[in-house]
């Protein structure tokens, strides 16, 4: 399954769900701020920046 996560910055908002989906073999990507995209990418997820550069 392909999943697009849209979340505000903060590990508690996205990591439990995205991590579980990825571990189950799903294709997980994010649409979030440019600043948060760097954190998401560091965790190994694909990210599509959107909105302003604010976190």
Summarised one tens digit per residue, pLDDT across range 1-53 is 999 998 777 767 788 899 999 999 999 999 988 888 888 999 999 999 987 66
- Does residue 36 form part of some domain? yes
Burial class for 9, CB neighbours closer than 10 Å (0-12, 13-18, 19+): middle
Which residues span the domain enclosing 34?
Answer: 2-49
pTM of the model: 0.80
- Does residue 54 form part of some domain? no
- Does residue 28 form part of some domain? yes
Q: Specify the 3-state DSSP secondary structure of 52.
A: coil
- Does residue 15 form part of some domain? yes
- Does residue 55 form part of some domain? no
How many structural domains is the chain composed of?
1
- Does residue 33 form part of some domain? yes
């Amino acid at each position: 399954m392909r999943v697009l996560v849209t979340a505000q910055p903060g590990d508690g908002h996205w990591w439990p769900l995205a991590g579980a989906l990825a571990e189950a073999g799903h294709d997980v990507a994010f649409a979030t701020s440019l600043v948060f995209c760097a954190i998401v990418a560091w965790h190994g997820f694909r990210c599509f920046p959107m909105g302003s550069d604010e976190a």
